[in-house]
Amino acid sequence: MFDLVIVGAGIAGQTAAIYAARKRMDFVLLAKEVGGQFLESGEVLNYPGILKTTGVEFKLLMDKQLEFNEVNVTEGKEVKKIGKIEDGFRVYCDSDTYDAKTVIIASGARPRGLNVPGEKEFARKGVTYCSICDGPLFSGMDVVVVGGGNSALEAVDFIKDIAQKIYLLNNGKEFNAHEYLIERVLSYKNVEILLEADTKEVLGDKFVTGLVYEKNSILHSLEVQGVIIEIGRVPNTGFLEGFLELDEHNHVVVDCQTRASVEGVFAAGDCASGHEYQYVTSAGQGCMALLKAARYLANKKL
C-alpha cells in the first residue's frame, strides 16, 4: 500500500508530488496527461518570482523540476472511481487499481460546453475552446466569441487583428471582466457586442458556417466560420460522485486546510471549492494538501 496517491498532474498535483518526493514518501502520481491546463494559457505575468513566461515554458520547466526531484508520472491513467478500504483507499483506473493510505485529488477543470446542437459535431471544424491554439486559423474570417468573462474578452483581444469581424455574444446583461479589458474590447471597430443573447445552435456543412442565437424571444443567425467558446470551466470530479461531498458546481468541498469530507482525502487546485483558476493558488494548495496529508499519516501512525 502506498502512503499516497495523487490524482492529476497539473500544477497542484505536480507541486504535491515534488514535496512528496522530497519527503521520501512512497507515492504514485496518476495523470491522464501531464501539464493539464498549462497548455491552454498564453502569457503568464503574475506568478511570484517569474517576471514573464508562457504556459508552455512553465510546463517545460516543471517537467525538468519533476525530473530533478525524481518524480515519475504514471501517465495515461484516467481515474474512474475511488473507494474506501481498510486503512485507506482504492483508486480504480481502467485496467488496474492503486491502494493508498491517503489521496490528494488534483484533477483540475475543463472548458464548459454550450450544450447546443452542432457544437460537438463541429468541434475542431470551426468550434474551439482554445483561442490561443486555434485563433490564428481564423485569419480574415468572421468569428463569434461566446462568453462574457475575462477569458472571452481576452479571446476577442487576441484575435482582433486576425479575424475580420468579431461578434462577442454574451447571455448576460453585462460583462463580468476586468475593466481595462472591457474598455479595450469596446474600443475595437471590428467587434460587435450582442448582449442578452442565448446561443441555440451551431450551423455548418463540412465546417462551421454560422450560429443561431435568441434575443428577445426572436431567433437570429450570424454567418461565421469560427465559434470560440469561453463560458467558464467545469471541475473534473465525475469519478468522485457518491464518494465525497461536492458543492453545487461539483467542486470537491474542502476546508481551509484542503481537507475533503472524507478523512484522509485532500483536494487542491481547480477541482476544489474556493478555486480561483490561478497557477499560484493551485501550487499553494497542492503544497498544503501534501503537508496536511503527511501530518495526517504521522498523527494516525499509518
Among candidate residues 134, 142, 157, 247, the one labeled active-site is: 134
Q: Which residues, listed in sequence order, are joined to residue 75 by a DSSP beta bridge?
A: 31
Q: Return the residue of 139, 164, 221, 257 that touches another protein, per CB under 8 A.
A: 139
Q: Least distance (Å) from another protein to the CB of residue 63?
A: 9
Q: Is 128 in the site for another protein (CB under 8 A)?
A: yes
Binding mask 203-242 for another protein (x = CB under 8 A): ---xxx----------------------------------
Q: Least distance (Å) from another protein to the CB of residue 123?
A: 9
Q: Is 42 in the site for another protein (CB under 8 A)?
A: yes
Q: Is 50 in the site for another protein (CB under 8 A)?
A: no
**Is 130 one of the catalytic residues?**
yes
Phi, psi dihedrals of residue 108, rounded to the nearest 5°: 75, -160
CB 23 within 8 A of CB 295: no
For another protein, the closer of residues 23 and 125 by Cβ is 125
Q: Is 113 in the site for another protein (CB under 8 A)?
A: no
For another protein, the closer of residues 128 and 258 by Cβ is 128
Q: Which residues contact 113 (CB under 8 A, 6 or more apart)?
A: 119, 120, 129, 229
CB 244 within 8 A of CB 265: yes
CA angle 243, 245, 247 (to 5 degrees): 140
Closest CA to 204 of 302, 96, 122: 122
Q: Which of residues 259-298 bind another protein (CB under 8 A)?
A: none
Among candidate residues 87, 96, 133, 255, the one labeled active-site is: 133
Phi, psi dihedrals of residue 107, rounded to the nearest 5°: -85, -5
Grid cell 474551439 — which residue? 128
Dist CA 47 CA 29 (whole Å):
24
Distance of CA 190 to the CA centre of its chain: 30
* Span from 99-107, 130-138, 145-153, 228-236 in contact with another protein (CB under 8 A): 130-138
Binding mask 65-94 for another protein (x = CB under 8 A): -----------x------------------
For another protein, the closer of residues 132 and 288 by Cβ is 132
Q: Return the residue of 1, 39, 234, 302 that touches another protein, per CB under 8 A.
A: 39
* Span from 13-21, 112-120, 201-209, 288-296 in contact with another protein (CB under 8 A): 201-209
Q: Which residues contact 176 (CB under 8 A, 6 or more apart)?
A: 148, 149
Phi, psi dihedrals of residue 169, rounded to the nearest 5°: -110, 120
User: Length of the chain in residues, anyone?
Assistant: 302
Q: Least distance (Å) from another protein to the CB of residue 264?
A: 33
Q: Is 126 in the site for another protein (CB under 8 A)?
A: yes
Dist CA 231 CA 151 (whole Å):
8
Dist CA 99 CA 70 (whole Å):
21
Please identify every residue annotated as catalytic: 130, 133-134
Residues found near another protein in the complex (CB under 8 A): 38-42, 54-56, 59-60, 76, 124-126, 128, 132-137, 139-140, 162, 206-208
